[in-house]
Amino acid sequence: MIQFVVEDRTGDRQPVEVPGGIGLNLMEVLKASDYTIQATCGGMALCATCHVQVLEGHDNLPPVSDAELDILDTLPTAHPDSRLACQLRVEECMEGALFRIASEEP
């Protein structure tokens, strides 16, 4: 099992466990776990409505792709630790990470 923590928009933190090798991205896991996340483009890295901040474990994640970086650069609320949940495959590198679901407001 891969375990990480998700902080919602109200500041509540909940642990999440996902079986290893499940082949889902973080956006899909968040939606399946009933977190309010729009994911308007369905995971194509086009809309940034699955924006998360990586509060812990950022250095363990794969590097940001050019497509993801292009979208993050358009967000006024992006931080150096921002990622698109749709671009993060749930893998062992996420073990112990802390993700904050970004605000829907600019």
Which residue, among 5, 25, 7, has the nearest Cα to 16 in the 3D structure? Answer: 5
Q: In this predicted model, what pLDDT tens digit does every residue of 39-90 receive, in sequence order?
A: 888 888 888 999 999 999 999 999 999 999 999 999 998 999 999 999 999 9
| CATH architecture label of 2-101 | Roll (3.10)
Q: What are the domain boundaries of the chain?
A: 2-101
Note the helical H segments in 1-106.
26-32, 66-72
pLDDT above 70 (res 106): no
Which pLDDT belongs to residue 52? 96
Cα(first)–Cα(last) distance of the chain, in Å? 35
Please give the mean pLDDT across all residues of the chain: 92
The predicted model gives 1-10 an average pLDDT of 96
